[in-house]
Amino acid sequence: MADIIVPELAESITEGTIAQWLKQPGDTVEKGEFIVELETDKVNVEVISEEAGVVSELLAAEGDTVLVGQVIAVVGASSGSTASAPAAQAEAKEEVKAPEAPKAAPVVQETATEQDRTIASPAARKLAREKGINLSDISPVDPMGRVRVQDVSAHGSAPTPAKAAPAPAASAPKEDDGRTTREKMSRRRQTIASRLLEVRQSTAMLTTFNEIDMTNVMALRSRKKDQFFEQNDVRLGFMSFFTKAVVAALKKYPYVNAQIDGTDIVKNNFYDIGIAVSTEGGLVVPIVRDADRKNFAEIEANIGELAKKARDNKLALSDMSGGSFTITNGGVFGSLLSTPILNGTQVGILGMHTIQKRPIAVGNEVEIRPMMYVALSYDHRVIDGKDSVGFLKTVKELLENPEDLLLNS
């Protein structure tokens, strides 16, 4: 017998959520094979079995919160009777607790064929046994056909033909009438929500705006992109320009690259720039380490690698820990203007937006130029208006004169 235990995840992570069981009771598992996927507030982690054998029991259901060090499953030696062990153990426990015969619920036994055909979570199977419900009679909400606890509860609470259910009030529509859909927030979404709320409540956050004429940087990129790709095997995008401009501005305004620790201001002498990436599970911010020491090609390659890992849900905790400043690009979704929220303990975040052609006064003439609004949200407890405006103005000037940016990098 071997216990499957929630492993140490990271110093700041003490719990996770069962995202998906990769093995079910009765399944054979090899040593080192993945058995469960855990979702934390930062990354998903797959846990392996330390022993070969057969899964005899799952002690937590999908969606349950589990703590580091908690036993969540048991792997036993291979046996023909292993698959029925959980049910037998459950029946034995019920006999000890309540030796007298039950008063009502009819006993419904599933045939082996029904058990094979019905996909259900361990908690759903247990609840169905307790309520005397045949899993094959339940219509799950899950489009993949997996029966969950809420499906069993809804089936068990449905009104019987002999006793009509009272009509619901018009002002309180029921979820099962199709007008609303309820879903549990993922652990990552819960963490994002709580941290954003905490930032709003614990910082003196303000936002200042400017606009950048992207004519010169777009022209430079257009001239150099083919040569850049041939030499570096990576495409030249806008993010490397913005990252380099941000690093140069941070060096000029070091308080924007700081954080608060109690009553101290800690100025960072490194430039680990977070690049916000949107994934199906929510926003993540992997870090481009030592961006001041990387050239354009290295930054583009690093960003591309991190973005791919984010989309494939392969980011490690080390990819996202730390960071001294963050860049977020709402322009990829068409956002014209926004006020980004600070990331964790950082005191500054730069928001990029979509490039839009607009009439602009150039000298005494009006010209159509590709313009981008940029926003700097900052913690006013650390950064004064002079530094915030100066920082954003420096970013603007460098991007409008990209040759200067190349020299400064």
Choosing from 312, 380, 387, 404, the catalytic residue is: 380
Q: Of 256, 187, 216, 264, nearest to 370 (Cα)?
A: 216
Q: Is 380 tagged catalytic?
A: yes
Angle between helices 122-131 and 85-97 (to 10 degrees): 40
Amino acid at 395: V
With residues binned 3-state (H G I as helix, E B as strand, rest as coil), the percentages for the chain, rounded to 5, are 35, 25, 40
Helix (H) / strand (E) containing 228:
helix 215-232
Please state, in angstroms and rounded to a whole number, the distance separating the CA atoms of residues 288 and 409: 15
DSSP notation for 252-278: HSGGGGEEEETTEEEE-SS--EEE-EE
Choosing from 379, 384, 387, 404, the catalytic residue is: 384
- Whether the CB-CB separation of 23 and 36 falls below 8 Å is answered with yes
For the CA atoms of 124, 125, 130, 133, the dihedral, rounded to the nearest 10 degrees, stands at: 90
Question: How far is C-alpha 249 from the geometric centre of its chain's CA atoms?
Answer: 30
End-to-end CA distance of the chain: 59
DSSP notation for 126-163: HHHHHHT--GGG---SSTT--B-HHHHHHHHTSPPTTS
Kindly report the backbone phi and psi dihedral angles of residue 147, in degrees, each rounded to the nearest multiple of 5, phi listed first. -85, 130
- Whether the CB-CB separation of 239 and 217 falls below 8 Å is answered with no
Please state, in angstroms and rounded to a whole number, the distance separating the CA atoms of residues 246 and 250: 6
- Helix, strand, or coil (residue 325): strand
Q: What is the DSSP letter of 303?
A: H
Q: Is 384 tagged catalytic?
A: yes
Q: Of 310, 300, 303, nearest to 233 (Cα)?
A: 300
Kindly report the backbone phi and psi dihedral angles of residue 146, in degrees, each rounded to the nearest multiple of 5, phi listed first. -80, 130
For the chain, give the number of residues.
Answer: 409
Active-site positions read 380, 384
